[in-house]
Structure 1
Amino acid sequence: MSRYIVRRLLQAIVTLFVLSLLLFAWLRSLPGGPVSALLGERSTPEDRAALEQALGLDQPIFIQYLRFLERAAQGQFGVSTGVLPGRDALEIFLSRFPATIELSFFALTLAILLGIPLGYLAARHRGTFLDTGSVLFSLVGIAVPVFFLAFALKYVFAIQLGVLPPSGRQSVGINATHITGMYVLDGLLTREWDAAWDALRHLILPAVALSSIPFAVILRITRASVLEVLDEDYVRTAQAKGLRAATIRGRHVLRNALIPVVTTIGLQTGALLAGAVLTERVFTFRGVGHALAYGFETRDYAVLQVLIMMAALIYILVNMVVDIAYAAIDPRVRVR
């Protein structure tokens, strides 16, 4: 097991190195470059040359990349020029990250609580109306773009019905104490129940929109995995021995069927960061996705660097943890 973990760590390091190289090359190829973002389009050639020298942009590209890695390792990504001008880019990420974590947690929890039971029931009642309806529902969840679903939910439940707030993380009139940056958790920790309830109401619509694709994927993977396990010989043997149906479903069917579902959940956890860009933008939910979208609009290179690098790092770490958990559940994975 330890050799497998070391191998996955080495793969994660190599992946992160390649991603940093791609990010460095991509940001340098964007129109205008960091100098124009800092000085503006009307800057003089002398000012541009002085800033390029100060930033080391007049050095060979290989030297620039090594300095980029050195600064990234120290957490020095520069100062924001667009999202929050004058503020350290890493601080912006750290201040926005709890909001995205809170939103992703609720979205993933919703997807798991609905996707796994519906997928299991669809497989157990194969060919029935429940099975057909679940499959069609999952196809709609995958096919409908997240931003369209977000706008539709916002229009119906916030604008037309007025039962849920249309944007933001908490109402303006709420005097809440913020400890972790996760508003629902903060309200529970401080026993400010009105603040926790208000933050939860603001989470419902963006969480539902963000959970649509993970829910559909988890449902389909669970259904396919349960169907595959139901056809295995050891399930038929357990049935022939006269074991109780509850024992067969829990110990033999569901336990083995959940192995690929665990991997899927891990992949969807990383994918939620990408979906959060659109969802947070629609609902003005000030998390990492909202900052990333605004960073593109304002060509805030410092913020783009730290947000993309940190999102990639989180994605890699989540998938590494899932792979290790997968190997612990199924020992056959370790020798592949």
Structure 2
Amino acid sequence: MLRFIVRRVLQMIGVLFVLSILLFAWTRSLPGGPVDAICGERCNDEQRAALRAQLGLDKSVFQQYLTFLGNAFQGRFGTSTGVLPGTDAMDLFLRRLPATLELSVTAIFIAVLFGVPLGYLAARRRGGIFDNMSIIGSLVGVAVPVFFLAFVLKYFFAIDNQILPLQGRQGDINATRVTGFFVLDGILTREWDAAWNAIQHLILPSIALATIPFAVIFRITRAAVLDVLDEDYVRTAEAKGLTARTIRWRHVLRNALLPVTTTLGLQIGALLGGAVLTERVFVWGGIGESLASAIQLRDYAVIQVFILMAAAGYVVVNLLVDIGYAIIDPRVRTR
């Protein structure tokens, strides 16, 4: 098991190294460059040259990359020039991270909570009305763009009927901040009105963000359960007279959840792409919305730290999924 983990960690380091090269090359190829983003039209040639020297842009590309890599290891990416001018980019990322984590965790929880049992039930009723309707629903979930569904939910529940809040993470409440996770903060401080208000704000964006992961998890679960139901060990368990509950939990679901576990890791990482659109629609204030603003405002420091740290999080999540997969199925450790 230890050898398996070490091998996966080395692969993770390699992925991050390649990503750092691609990110460095991409940010250096963007039009304008950091000097124009900082100066605009206010600096003369001498000031621009001094700023280039200060940023190390007068050095060779290889030296610039080594400096970038060294700063990245220390968490130093510079200060924001557009999203929140004068703020350290890493501090800005850490400040906005809880919002995206709260939204993403809730979305993946909804996707798993409904996707796995519905996928199992659809497989058990293969060819029936429930199965066909579930498949159609999952196809709609994949086909409808996240931003369009977000606007529809926002209009129907927040604007037209005013059932749920329109935007933001919390209303005008004097709540105590502890962790940056508004729901958790309300629970820890026993400010139940603040926790409930945060939950209300969380409902619409999390549903919008959960649609694609739900559809994918549903279809993977359904296909995996159908495959497992045809296995000899399931028929043998039935022939032995084991109870339906034992067969369902010990033989069917446990083996069917192996591909779902891998899919779950990929979906958690992919949530960032959906979070950019969802956070923009609901003015959520997380890393997705900040990254979109940084690209629009050419805030290179924020772009670098947000992309690199988001990718690192994606890789770490998949590492944990691989370890969990190896625990569930020991055969994976030998591959």
Q: 2:303 corresponds to which letter in structure 1?
A: L
Q: State the Cα distance separating 1:47 from its structure 2 match.
A: 1.6
Query: Which residue in 2 is equivalent to 1:102?
Result: 102
Distance of 2:16 and 2:321 partners within structure 1: 17
Distance of 2:45 and 2:263 partners within structure 1: 52
Distance of 1:42 and 1:125 partners within structure 2: 68
Residue 318 (structure 2) pairs with residue 319 (structure 1): yes
Distance of 1:43 and 1:221 partners within structure 2: 56
Distance of 1:42 and 1:55 partners within structure 2: 18
Q: 1:242 corresponds to which letter in structure 2?
A: G
Residue 239 (structure 2) pairs with residue 258 (structure 1): no
Q: 2:204 corresponds to which letter in structure 1?
A: L
Distance of 2:62 and 2:41 partners within structure 1: 27
- 1:202-281 correspondence runs (5 A): 202-281=201-280
Matched position secondary structure for 2:75: coil
Q: 2:66 corresponds to which letter in structure 1?
A: L
Query: Which residue in 2 is equivalent to 1:155?
Result: 155
Q: State the Cα distance separating 1:43 from its structure 2 match.
A: 2.9
Distance of 1:324 and 1:243 partners within structure 2: 31
* More off after superposition, 45-54 vs 98-107: 45-54
Residue 171 (structure 2) pairs with residue 171 (structure 1): yes
After the TM superposition, which segments of 4 or more aligned residues of structure 1 sit over 4 Å from their partners? Answer: none
Q: Write the deviation string for residues 13-64 of structure 1: whole angstroms up to 9, x where unpaired.
A: 0000000000000000001000100101453222211111111101000000
- 1:25-104 correspondence runs (5 A): 25-104=25-104
Q: 2:81 corresponds to which letter in structure 1?
A: T
Q: State the Cα distance separating 1:276 from its structure 2 match.
A: 0.7
Distance of 2:62 and 2:116 partners within structure 1: 49
Distance of 2:56 and 2:254 partners within structure 1: 56
Matched position secondary structure for 2:68: helix
Matched position secondary structure for 1:138: helix
Matched residues, percent identical? 67
Q: State the Cα distance separating 1:267 from its structure 2 match.
A: 1.0
Query: Which residue in 2 is equivalent to 1:130?
Result: 130
Distance of 1:88 and 1:12 partners within structure 2: 27
Q: State the Cα distance separating 1:243 from its structure 2 match.
A: 1.3
Q: 1:100 corresponds to which letter in structure 2?
A: T
Distance of 1:309 and 1:216 partners within structure 2: 28
Q: 2:228 corresponds to which letter in structure 1?
A: V
Q: Write the deviation string for residues 266-302 of structure 1: whole angstroms up to 9, x where unpaired.
A: 1111111221111001000011111111111111111
Distance of 1:202 and 1:297 partners within structure 2: 26
Distance of 1:271 and 1:166 partners within structure 2: 25
Number of aligned residue pairs: 335
Q: Write the deviation string for residues 190-211 of structure 1: whole angstroms up to 9, x where unpaired.
A: 0000000000000000000000
Matched position secondary structure for 1:163: coil
Q: State the Cα distance separating 1:130 from its structure 2 match.
A: 0.5
Matched position secondary structure for 2:81: coil
Distance of 1:138 and 1:189 partners within structure 2: 37
Distance of 1:23 and 1:42 partners within structure 2: 28
Q: 2:155 corresponds to which letter in structure 1?
A: Y
Q: Write the deviation string for residues 70-102 of structure 1: whole angstroms up to 9, x where unpaired.
A: 111111100001111001000100000001110
Matched position secondary structure for 1:164: coil
| Structure 2 stretches lacking a partner, 5+ long | none
Query: Which residue in 1 is equivalent to 2:285?
Result: 286
| Structure 1 stretches lacking a partner, 5+ long | none
Query: Which residue in 1 is equivalent to 2:9?
Result: 9
Q: 2:101 corresponds to which letter in structure 1?
A: I
What is the TM-score when the length of structure 1 is the normalising length?
A: 0.99
Distance of 2:329 and 2:263 partners within structure 1: 15
What is the TM-score when the length of structure 2 is the normalising length?
A: 0.99
Matched position secondary structure for 1:292: helix
Q: 1:257 corresponds to which letter in structure 2?
A: A
Distance of 2:78 and 2:166 partners within structure 1: 34
Q: 1:319 corresponds to which letter in structure 2?
A: N
Matched position secondary structure for 1:97: helix
Q: 2:84 corresponds to which letter in structure 1?
A: L
Matched position secondary structure for 2:164: coil
Distance of 1:269 and 1:241 partners within structure 2: 39
Matched position secondary structure for 1:194: helix
Matched position secondary structure for 1:111: helix
Distance of 2:41 and 2:306 partners within structure 1: 25
Distance of 2:112 and 2:199 partners within structure 1: 18
Q: State the Cα distance separating 1:220 from its structure 2 match.
A: 0.3
Distance of 2:56 and 2:272 partners within structure 1: 32
